[in-house]
A and B are shown apart, each in its own frame.
Chain A
Amino acid sequence: MALFRLIGTGGVIAYRALFNWTTPAMFIGSLLVGPIFQLLFFAYLGRQLGVADDRFYVVGNAVLAASLSCVFGGTMAVANERRFGTLGHVLLSPRSRTAVFLSRVLPYAGNGLLIAVSTLTVGALLLGLRVPPEALPALLATLAVAALSCGFFGLTLGALGLRFRDVWVVSNVSVALLLLLTGVNVPAAGLPGWMRAVGEGLPITHAVRAARHLAAGDGFAAAGPALAAEAGVGLGYAVLAAVLLKAFEAESRRRASLDTL
């Protein structure tokens, strides 16, 4: 029970304290409106170049929309503790820091899901995409898995904040790389082999594949393997984040560099 309280209440309190976008204007501007324009930008670019149809871009960018809050949120969950001078207090806690930090991903994943759903809905309405109604529950599950996977990816980047000063550079570059490597905007077949290989290890890639199957009406059987792969990637990042947090915490204590900015 105490663990669930730590995960639930602790995660929400940390979210409210550390997530810099939580004022309504910032939330709507950055996280709800921004991704819609991103979707339109790539949809019109794709149309003009004849790369793919609107469905490709609406579904792809809707899934990718979850990444913005999750990657930056995961980074903020650790890096902002240091910036606000509270990192030492968290690490002094007698509770499991692995649970403390991993629990912080949940609110961000919830955010990511909300943003992805809103982007998909508005994108579909603006560009006239029809999604089979029977595909909606599985599509929602896919977006949720993608959001969780991105959250753990963000936390992994955030863990680097215990060791490196300019972790925001890493987050910004990572978000840009997700645009390129996940096959959201360029069909995977059009990318070189090594980019495809890197993309396979990133969040979003498999979820986009699953979502495109579902939106095309192929059914859950076709989307299942990709969805499982996305869950596997997310789990991998969760483990990696936990290991890095533990290792960097020990290293920071040893070198007395916890609050070094």
Chain B
Amino acid sequence: MIGVGALLHTRQLSRSPFEIATALIVPVVQATLAVYLCRAGGEPGRLLEAAVGAGLMGVWSSVLFGSGGAIQNQRWQGTLEMLMLAPRPPALVIFPITLSTAVTGTYAMLATLLWGRLLYGVPLTFAHPLLFLVAAPGCVLGLGMFGLLLASTFVLMRNANALANTLEYPIWLVSGMLVPLTVLPGWTGPIAAALPTWGARAVHEAASGGPVWPSLGICLAISLGCLAAGALMMTYVERRARAAATLALA
């Protein structure tokens, strides 16, 4: 059910010019920015790292805005009641949506890598090519699980978009997607460690070298925790909305 649901929602998102443009063009602009920053800093050896980092930023943006607005979007489409009437736990119905936002985000990763290769000649020489093929989907899956927690939390907030806008750059910053954690103040370490951004670390390690499995394992462990918390929250929100008859109300 998760597979079919994720496929359905991914196909639906892939029909949206806005989603596609956001997932393809914006990360490519960011990748270009990263490439020129690396060149200006005299570090052309880090171009692959920059392209991968920009792609990861795109995946995060897709999850943040897609999952944050997942329930609201269903409400606007008039399909939320139908989803909640399904004889399945609400988390199981919403999780494919948040997973699909992460899958759509992988367009960003592919776009930045292709862009870097074709336009700037970035050598796609991954330190662990096979592990990269494991780490990238692992990261996407982890972020999809985190997305469920976002979706269930954001639905309680009237101004969830404000939080989504505010969270984009902080997560980019503390997750080490483009800025190494070593240059950040020490107090940001525990915050980064508690987020499922270990997936980003695993992808970077697969691309540039490093122990991939520990980072990926921690990412999936934290993400499973987010999935469990999101499922509990979703059940609570659904019961509350049914009791107060506010399911369709924004």
Q: Which residues of A contact B (CB under 8 A)?
A: 21, 23, 25-30, 33-34, 37-38, 40-41, 44-51, 166, 168-169, 172-173, 176-177, 179-180, 185-187, 190-191
Contacts and interface: CB of A to CB of B under 8 A. Distances in A.
B135 to A, nearest CB: 23
Interface in B144-174: 158-159, 161-163, 165-166, 168-170, 172-173
A30 B36 contact: no
B41 interface: yes
A21 B162 CA distance: 8
B33 A29 contact: no
Contacts of B106: none
B166 A48 contact: no
A61 to B, nearest CB: 11
Contact of A38 (B36, B163, B169): B169
29 contacts: A25-B158, A25-B159, A27-B162, A33-B166, A34-B165, A34-B166, A34-B169, A37-B168, A37-B169, A37-B173, A40-B173, A41-B169, A41-B172, A46-B37, A48-B179, A48-B180, A48-B183, A49-B40, A49-B41, A166-B18, A166-B21, A169-B22, A172-B22, A172-B26, A173-B25, A173-B29, A176-B29, A180-B36, A187-B40
B82 to A, nearest CB: 24
Contacts of B168: 34, 37
Given A34-B168, A44-B179, A176-B29, 20 more contacts: A25-B158, A29-B162, A29-B165, A29-B166, A34-B166, A34-B169, A37-B168, A41-B173, A49-B43, A51-B37, A166-B17, A172-B18, A173-B21, A173-B25, A173-B26, A176-B30, A179-B29, A185-B33, A185-B37, A187-B40
Interface of B: 17-18, 21-22, 25-26, 29-30, 32-33, 36-43, 46, 158-159, 161-163, 165-166, 168-170, 172-173, 178-180, 183-184
Contacts of A28: 162
A30 B38 contact: no
Contacts of B17: 166, 169
A34 B65 CA distance: 14
Given A44-B173, A48-B180, A191 B166 contact: no
Contact of A30 (B161, B170, B183): B161
A50 B17 CA distance: 37
B197 to A, nearest CB: 14
Contacts of A37: 166, 168-170, 173
A26 B36 contact: no
A186 B183 contact: no
A179 B158 CA distance: 30
The 6 A-B pairs with the shortest beta carbon distances in the complex, nearest first, are A49-B41, A29-B162, A190-B40, A37-B169, A26-B162, A30-B165
A27 B30 CA distance: 25
A180 B166 contact: no
Nearest to A47: B183
A144 B173 CA distance: 29
A186 B18 contact: no
Contact of A169 (B21, B33, B170, B183): B21
A29 B30 CA distance: 22
Contacts of B184: 44
A172 B65 CA distance: 13
A46 B41 CA distance: 8
B18 A179 contact: no
A90 B48 CA distance: 51
A34 B33 CA distance: 19
Given A34-B166, A44-B173, A186 B33 contact: yes
A190 B35 CA distance: 10
Nearest to B166: A29
A179 B29 CA distance: 9
